[in-house]
Structure 1
Amino acid sequence: MSNARVLADGRYQLDRKLGSGGMADVWLAHDNKMNRPVAVKLLALDRMRGSRRRDALTEQMQARYEKEWQSMARISSPYVAAIHDRGQEGDQAYFVMEWIDGRSLDHYVGPGSVLTLPQVTRWSVQICEGLADAHDADVVHRDIKPANIVINGNGNARIVDFGLARLLDVTETHGAGATWRYIAPERCNGEPGTHLSDLYSLGCVMYEMLTGNPPFTSRHGDSVAIVTMHLRQRPVDLGRVRRGVPAVLSDLVMSLLAKEPAQRPQHARAVARTIRGSVEHRPERPASGTEVTTPSALPAATSDPMDRVHSQEQRVRGLLSEHTADHPAVVDARFELAELTGDAGDPRGAADLYEAVGVDCAEFYGPYHPRVLDAYERMARWIAASS
């Protein structure tokens, strides 16, 4: 059945594989009944029969399968991918989920990544709202990580794979569903985890969005070393890794990473409120000898600087769908995005965006083009503003 191109008597037509893990494959499929694209998660129960104890584990997984499906179906949230259907054909169990056209967060984070504070705060709030909706339904994710957060075409975050980590956990003593760089200390000790474990993992993700790296890593990917760090080591303070992060936001991330669950914030909605409060201020623009002008019009008539950044990000994406990256309209829009980012309270992010557009303009037009010099001059002013 693993090679079948259809499921449920032909209702789901499997088009192409999107990814594969140890116990599951994800396919982009078409729901012929509802005439819509869907994501189908195939749980390969037959892969568990490679040892004498696998038959019993498969029975456990089958028993938990229906219970977890019912739990996941209770979640109703604009920030969580909906579960549409489930089924089983022979050794092939499957979930049918909402298809989100976008890229996972792990495409945006990593060493050298440029994530602005408006991006980090918007996505973090949306993840929190999704977690809160799930926790209100008594559902714990257990595997919050960048790969399980999708940024859709409108630049908004959606959580995927709710409940599936618990299904996979039954196959291994310490949890096959866990990803070590984002796992809570109590889960490292073999506990099943609670909503507070999800908040710890959120802290790991936010730390990575802000700094380019999760709080604990190993040069050689040594999971034992990473687990030991989660259990015993305090992360390096955010302020020492990235300048310009509001103290409220930095303190929040560090509190999410508390070793003891009772010392963490106790509800995802409270975390979302704190994140929103951390960016309510609007700093003054950096001083300059000349008026700062931007060639493109404001993207939307709104007084909220965060909304203006989001709208401008959408505008840049729209222009890139119509023009090449070196088109003047695209470059102008990127300049505007950098300036709005600084106005929204992220001078370091503004400097990074200006540096990126400056590097690109040097490649497009030559190193001494006025646009290159303009980008680096503005970058320097925002760096000074973040000092």
Structure 2
Amino acid sequence: MKSTKIFVDCHVFDGNFQGTTTYLKGLYSELLKDKTKQFYFGTSNISFLKTIFGAHDNLTYISYKTKNKFYRLLFDIPKIIKQNKIDYAHFQYVVPPIKACKYIVTIHDVLFLDFPEYFPFFYKLKNKFLFKTSAKYSDIVLSVSEYSKIQIQKHFKIETVTITPNAVDPVYFETYQKDNIKEQVLKKFKAKNYFLYVSRWEPRKNHHCLLKVFVEKEYYKNHSLVFIGDKAIENKEYNDYYNSLPSAIKATIFSFHKLNFQDLLLLVRGADLSIYPSIAEGFGIPPLESLAANVPTICSNTTAMTDFQFFDDCLFNPLDLEDLKDKIEIGLKDTKIAQKKEAMLAKFSWKQAAEQFKKAIS
């Protein structure tokens, strides 16, 4: 029987870890177990990608000639598809304009259309054209949540969207010694007894509301606040509020960018409380990761996060500061982490996502 050949554009691994890298790592770590399929991973850094996926009989790594995205889409990828007689090529958000096989595109969200007030004008204009064209051009459209599926269908008039839901990397479920982790964090990052928020910086991510609660409730007297995430879209409201604070409070607030995965994992495990106050998400993996690591976690209850009902009494309205304050107190005393983690595992797994993917291409 002829193997199905699947090419995967893995250029996202050439940058920093984000939602798309977590998605591809989890999905294809599971799909690689299917020996009836031959996979081809395109990247500018083969040695690094091998540390993510390892060696497999049904996996071939292919190096891009350049990191330039236009060259990759216009020349590199069509050539790779033709030379290797690829059946399906899988992309994140944007597909090449030259079609040489069947295309699969994962559009994780269209939040810039749902919440236009949080995005720059040209960002919206450019991505609406690119995402819609890519969806129309593709044979299979995937997304990661029921919320995103419905919004993609509404905005782009796409009838069939298959959900391949995100899940959590198995490393987050590994056991560890909390006290030892806290000592490592204190030595390396100078943070202790901290609240944690993992997310890139954009106004919709709502960093400013979390900072206001941290200050107004005077949590800085006993805790630190740690933000992890790269800068994406400037949040002026956060900047103005932070700059108005006295230096003693600023000393309890830490912001880390471009961390490697091991440092990220260390900071997640060492947190007293993980807080995810985002206003809008296409999925929202970080609160699931902290829950998997047995860290008390409170989470926003909007958009795709309405699927996270297992957080139960630790869900809050991200625009209601009083609700956020109340849930911080509940989260710090949470005794139901094990039950919540079990319910999360029953709902989200990479095996489930892989099965949906295979159904879509069959």
* Fold similarity call, TM over 0.5: no
With normalisation by structure 1, the TM-score equals 0.27
With normalisation by structure 2, the TM-score equals 0.28
